[in-house]
Structure 1
């Protein structure tokens, strides 16, 4: 593959893939689970530490295996074809495509703030609870449009990524600055007055329907359950940085630039996320964050900051953000499926590059399946289930750093994980706590996603049986 992406392009891909719709939405659900500004900040800091620790650990693998496929390649090289396939299976069925669908739907929903007719019109088709709306059609159009643009060459996708990522970073910085300069009545002190015990107080104040009664009977451990449930949102908002590893085959000097892009990109994004939440806590009181209209605290905050124009400003910002995010996900994901096809683990048609040196058929397979998920309306449920599985795959990959150090200490390592073994162990400890607490407190977020991945086993066995026949 041609090396068309420089360090700046790779960093923009990391940041653009991370910043989608989550940061504008998830803080409402997080506040309902936590009830305090202290805990909201603490959970974002924990998520930030997790994310950067994973990126630093991945850097060692990206330097050892500087080729297309990224995380799929690492898992295949370290743990074998079946583990790599299960990751790729999950990526195609829901992790990558489901995220594309969800972010495209967010684009459509925020567009409806500017074009109310999108929301107000009757469904195009409805049968029982299933319906097809104009917002879904717009989401599909955006997915297919960006898929088409990316079939025309890496240069086009790179240009879009750089423009939209730069735009949304500048816009976020504007929201952060104005969120403190233009607001006269700060809610910061009140939001912080609830202290570290706000979880229990919040439950009593707003009713037990928001704090499941089973949690309260466990006593002090209840709070940990709130943290784990809240982290579903912050983790979802902080994934996809590893998309840059999928593009390693097209990045200049991948042994150095991939790790630099991952570490720099994740650090900057997590700082931005923390500052945006500071704005929420400064502009809105606790209930306004927790019960923002349609779970959109960013819109509520923007209305306070900018007045009547706030809704329009935030809608435009989210449209820019989600458009750039979808482009990054579309650009990177298809490279994994192409690499899987080369290994005999995906449709062989995905192998070919077109005249623009991009995997066109792989791009269209990804785009069509993401469009189907958007049309089905099931992407939201799937993504609730998949955060757990994403962290599990991150943990397996990070563990691979330690595994290779023990099993193959003499392998060439152009980059070594900073503060090894503290960094990977830190990630594994936080990730394990997150997964265990979710299994304990929120099993509906865990077993369905795990089951979805296990469904890949018979597919893998069928593929390999067909190869040996």
Structure 2
């Protein structure tokens, strides 16, 4: 059981310097990702709360710094709870399982948005429909559409299925963590205010 397979491989190919170099690169990448999560997640929670789909108290911003202080504290508390539940590898399994479900659903949503596009067309002769990548002018054209997003959705399905087959218990716990959001959503649903 290798604890650092990338560093071991580079050490075998390029000597000790190779192992050190790849380990340092992975550490920098990890810190970059953690920075992203620490900065973005409280803002997402704050925006969800402001939209009425999460705990309303998290919508408040700090009166002086205008930061989502309540959401930052909530994220810290939730991270502590998760850290107390198991080992690091189990936490990664829980999170990666849920992440890949939503990565796949997000990209699959692209097909729905393309099919439902109701943007007025500048030319009345342009046909629209499911294959309509070029049917209406868009600010961004998806490279390789529809094949690129379809391939990504299949890859996401593969990752999720592999996680279930490799460790059903962790996939089950990951599913349970995702389902914890359902009662929160249902409790918060009456206070939803949809803005255009």
Provide the TM-score with structure 1 as the length reference: 0.32
Q: 1:388 aligns with which of 81, 94, 97?
A: 97
2:51 corresponds to: 343
CA distance in 2, matches of 1:371, 1:356: 25
CA distance in 2, matches of 1:365, 1:374: 14
- Aligned: 1:416 with 2:130: no
1:444/1:357 CA distance change after superposition, 3 Å? same
2:110 corresponds to: 401
1:413/1:460 CA distance change after superposition, 3 Å? same
Alpha-carbon RMSD across the aligned residues, in angstroms, is 3.2
Aligned pairs for 1:222-301 within 5 A: 291-292=1-2, 295-301=3-9
Q: 2:151 aligns with which of 421, 426, 448?
A: 426
2:31 corresponds to: 323
**Structure 2 SS opposite 1:300:** helix
Conservation of the 8 A alpha-carbon contact between 1:303 and 1:310: yes
CA distance in 2, matches of 1:410, 1:446: 40
Q: 2:79 aligns with which of 354, 370, 374?
A: 370
Once the two structures are TM-superposed, the CA of residue 356 in structure 1 deviates from its matched residue by 3.3
**Structure 2 SS opposite 1:416:** coil
CA distance in 2, matches of 1:303, 1:419: 38
Once the two structures are TM-superposed, the CA of residue 414 in structure 1 deviates from its matched residue by 1.5
Q: Which has the higher helix share?
A: 1
**Structure 2 SS opposite 1:446:** helix
Displaced runs of 4 or more, over 6 A: 309-315
1:297/1:368 CA distance change after superposition, 3 Å? same
1:379/1:346 CA distance change after superposition, 3 Å? farther
CA distance in 2, matches of 1:421, 1:311: 40
1:416/1:409 CA distance change after superposition, 3 Å? farther
Once the two structures are TM-superposed, the CA of residue 297 in structure 1 deviates from its matched residue by 2.5
1:68-127 per-residue CA deviation (whole Å, 9 max, x = no partner) reads: xxxxxxxxxxxxxxxxxxxxxxxxxxxxxxxxxxxxxxxxxxxxxxxxxxxxxxxxxxxx
CA distance in 2, matches of 1:407, 1:382: 37
1:111-150 per-residue CA deviation (whole Å, 9 max, x = no partner) reads: xxxxxxxxxxxxxxxxxxxxxxxxxxxxxxxxxxxxxxxx
1:445/1:413 CA distance change after superposition, 3 Å? farther
CA distance in 2, matches of 1:440, 1:311: 31
CA distance in 1, matches of 2:114, 2:87: 41
1:264-313 per-residue CA deviation (whole Å, 9 max, x = no partner) reads: xxxxxxxxxxxxxxxxxxxxxxxxxxx43xx1134435655454x78877
CA distance in 1, matches of 2:22, 2:50: 43
- Aligned: 1:452 with 2:172: no
5+ residue gaps, structure 1, are 1-290
1:356/1:448 CA distance change after superposition, 3 Å? same
Provide the TM-score with structure 2 as the length reference: 0.69
CA distance in 1, matches of 2:153, 2:25: 35
CA distance in 2, matches of 1:432, 1:301: 28
CA distance in 1, matches of 2:27, 2:163: 32
Q: 1:356 aligns with which of 65, 70, 88?
A: 65
**Structure 1 SS opposite 2:156:** helix
Once the two structures are TM-superposed, the CA of residue 419 in structure 1 deviates from its matched residue by 2.0
CA distance in 2, matches of 1:440, 1:300: 27
1:365/1:402 CA distance change after superposition, 3 Å? same
Once the two structures are TM-superposed, the CA of residue 331 in structure 1 deviates from its matched residue by 1.1
